[in-house]
């Protein structure tokens, strides 16, 4: 080891010291875990959360107004059935008495007169 530099020797010794102490630390933790012995009965506390809400009012010397649009409910009714127009009967005229026509006599037949021949201008007698 004398051939090594002084810094290198110190590094090796510190590394060896750490490696030798690790089992001692582990053995100490194991002994603490096993040596708990009988424990006296102690009251265990149970934490309960209580939330208290307190309303606070902050008064300001001036009014703050916020513009807002409030929707207005509008009633819409469903469409109704409109009946189609129907024919309305007109008042009928009151019946009046009508005379029944009487039989008219048929014209009498007269005797026929044979037509007379008139001379035609083109014909010469």
Residue 8 lies inside a defined structural domain of this protein: yes
Residue 5 lies inside a defined structural domain of this protein: yes
For 22, the domain range is 1-34
Which residues, other chains included, contact 9 with Cβ-Cβ below 8 Å and sequence gap of 6+?
1
Can you give the pLDDT at residue 28?
Answer: 92
Number of domains present in the structure of the chain: 1
Residues 73-125 have pLDDT tens digits of 777 777 777 777 777 666 666 777 777 777 777 767 666 666 676 666 665 55
User: Where are the alpha helices (H) located in the chain, listed in sequence order?
Assistant: 6-34
Residues 7-27 have pLDDT tens digits of 999 999 999 999 999 999 999
Question: What pTM did the predictor assign?
Answer: 0.27
Residue 88 lies inside a defined structural domain of this protein: no
Residue 122 lies inside a defined structural domain of this protein: no
Residue 4 lies inside a defined structural domain of this protein: yes
Phi-psi region of 14 (alpha: psi -120 to 50; beta: other; left: phi over 0): alpha
């Amino acid at each position: 080891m004398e051939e090594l530099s002084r810094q290198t020797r110190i590094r090796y010794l510190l590394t060896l010291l750490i490696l030798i102490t690790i089992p001692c630390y582990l053995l100490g933790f194991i002994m603490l875990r096993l040596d708990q012995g009988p424990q006296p009965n102690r009251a265990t506390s149970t934490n309960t959360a209580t939330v208290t809400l307190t309303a606070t009012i902050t008064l300001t010397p001036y009014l703050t107004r916020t513009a807002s649009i409030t929707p207005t409910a509008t009633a819409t009714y469903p469409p109704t059935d409109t009946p189609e127009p129907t024919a309305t009967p007109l008042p009928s005229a009151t019946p009046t008495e009508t005379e029944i026509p009487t039989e008219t006599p048929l014209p009498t037949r007269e005797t026929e007169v044979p037509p007379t021949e008139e001379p035609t201008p083109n014909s010469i007698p």
